[in-house]
Structure 1
Amino acid sequence: KKGDDDLKELSSGKQVLAHHIIQSFSPDDNLTPEQVHEIGRQTMLELTGGNYEFVIATHTDKDHLHNHIILNTTNTSTLKKFRWEKKTLKNLRAISDKHAARYGAKIIEPTMKNSYTKYSAWRRQNNYRFEIKERLDFLLKQALSLEDFKHKAAALDLQIDFSGKFVKYKLLDQPQQRNVRD
């Protein structure tokens, strides 16, 4: 029998029945499909303690071998659920890396995909607002009238469009494609 909580999960459709895990290997590893499959099997046995069922499909259709692993979330002996927590992915990677290293596979060090430093560097390169603001600050200090402002803006390669509801700016000496509005 299932408790009330499990029945609520079943009726709401929010119950997690399985997890899909993809385990990829570099083409430079020179592993056979059998070795890749065995790495996946050992990884899952260690992660689950052998108490959860799983299916492994080793794909050879791409230039890199990879496993698709479907993990059943119901324990075969206690019928308790496998809880995917914050540390589970880190543990899975550590176990996978350990078994892959035994076969001589390259271990990829995890990096922060969206680190603030990388994002800031990208934004400085691809966002022209900062440069436009610098030029506008200079113009506001130097211009004596609106006509003088427009003339000096053209000399600084700053196109200013006053025609619409908002003032629009574009740097002519940069590869800026779209106008930036005020």
Structure 2
Amino acid sequence: MKRAITYILHLQKTQYHLTAGLNCNTATAYEEFVLTKQNYKKENGRQYIHFIQSFSPLDKASPETIKEIADKLLQHKMFKGFQVVYAVHTDKPHLHTHFIVNTVNADTGLKWQLSKEQLQELKDCSDELCRQYGLIVVKGKEGNYKNRGEYRSKKKGASWKYELYLAVKECMRNSSSREEFITSMEKLGYKVGWEDNRKYITFITPDGKKCRNRKLYPPEKFTKENLLKTFELNKKYQDKRLLHNRMELLISSIYMLSKSTSTNQSNYPLTFLKNRDLKGDALKERIAELKKGRGLNWDKKIDHER
């Protein structure tokens, strides 16, 4: 517990004005935590809770604003009576706040307990504070996030980067070599700049937008090394003909969607298919449906009635 408190308050990671204590003083937090435990004769078991509130590196918020958000988060009813020492860290590309909570409540002597529902309530509170300050809501342990414009576009079904992500993911899943991957991407309309002397892969969308593989999330999934590893596994464990047929089926469905009268479907066919969770036979049925075209075939209807 002492090491954890010392770590989050280290001035190589934060600044004095970015640290604070709830129901305790930062300079004497450890001693105060121990006194509370001794007072209630609860010195055994879990000593502290350590959690982190992370923010996107795309946010332009100042460390002082992040500190203000932490202050407000600790006003939540779940922290009432608990001693908390916290600090905003500025040593990473993304700002983040560390919280160390004493497991024994200074007012009641009860130990910290948080159900899944209460934890979700706390996360929701954090997300709402981010929205109030116009910040990006970060999702998941890996810190997955999208910038505001992209997030709004995705909600409308119009995110070019999400469409690229789906294209890379599908071609990666259905390729057994780097060459097959690049060819499959090209069939979907994407150019791939994969050079051995460059660290990153550059993707160019059909309308000319550029994006490096490190901008797709989670980035570790789309590194050169992981892509090549996936191709090797595909080659080893899957039938190459199956991969080829599955890719051709997907390309066929996208071609049919491009003939659709819906502009959104035409521009973002993979998103359209993904939102309907089309796989296997369902995908084949959708292709057959698209081949029929829209509306009723009146000639056949009339013939049938005759």
- What is the TM-score when the length of structure 1 is the normalising length? 0.54
State the distance in 2 between where 1:41 and 1:82 align. 19
Compute the displacement of 1:110 (Å). 4.8
State the distance in 2 between where 1:28 and 1:67 align. 16
1:144 corresponds to which residue?
A: none
Give yes or no for contact 2:83–2:106 (8 Å, CA) kept in 1. Answer: yes
Give yes or no for contact 2:51–2:100 (8 Å, CA) kept in 1. Answer: yes
1:109/1:67 Cα in 2 relative to 1: closer, same or farther (>3 Å)?
Answer: closer
Compute the displacement of 1:54 (Å). 0.7
Q: Does 1:129 align with 2:159?
A: no
Give yes or no for contact 1:37–1:56 (8 Å, CA) kept in 2. Answer: no
State the distance in 1 between where 2:133 and 2:40 align. 43
2:136 corresponds to which residue?
A: 106
Q: CA RMSD in A?
A: 3.3
Residue ranges of structure 2 left out of the alignment (5+ in a row): 1-38, 142-168, 174-220, 222-229, 243-306
1:53-86 per-position Cα deviation (integer Å, ceiling 9, x unaligned): 1111111111211101111121111110110322
Selected match of 1:45 from 75, 88, 95: 75
Matches within 5 A, 1:15-94: 15-94=45-124
Larger Rg: 1
Q: Greater relative contact order: 1 or 2 (C-alpha under 8 angstroms, separation 6 or more)?
A: 1
Secondary structure (helix, strand or coil) at the match of 1:70 reads strand
Letter of the structure 1 residue corresponding to residue 136 of structure 2: K
Compute the displacement of 1:45 (Å). 2.1
- What is the TM-score when the length of structure 2 is the normalising length? 0.34
Give yes or no for contact 1:47–1:92 (8 Å, CA) kept in 2. Answer: no
Compute the displacement of 1:20 (Å). 0.7
1:146-180 per-position Cα deviation (integer Å, ceiling 9, x unaligned): xxxxxxxxxxxxxxxxxxxxxxxxxxxxxxxxxxx
Secondary structure (helix, strand or coil) at the match of 1:81 reads coil
Letter of the structure 1 residue corresponding to residue 239 of structure 2: E
Secondary structure (helix, strand or coil) at the match of 2:84 reads strand
State the distance in 2 between where 1:97 and 1:47 align. 16
Compute the displacement of 1:21 (Å). 0.7
1:82/1:110 Cα in 2 relative to 1: closer, same or farther (>3 Å)?
Answer: same
Name the % identity: 32
Secondary structure (helix, strand or coil) at the match of 1:96 reads helix
What stretches of structure 1 move > 6 A for 4+ residues in a row? none
Compute the displacement of 1:102 (Å). 1.4
2:303 corresponds to which residue?
A: none
Residue ranges of structure 1 left out of the alignment (5+ in a row): 112-117, 135-182
Letter of the structure 2 residue corresponding to residue 21 of structure 1: F
Compute the displacement of 1:97 (Å). 0.7
1:89/1:49 Cα in 2 relative to 1: closer, same or farther (>3 Å)?
Answer: closer
Secondary structure (helix, strand or coil) at the match of 2:76 reads helix
1:131/1:20 Cα in 2 relative to 1: closer, same or farther (>3 Å)?
Answer: same
Secondary structure (helix, strand or coil) at the match of 1:29 reads coil
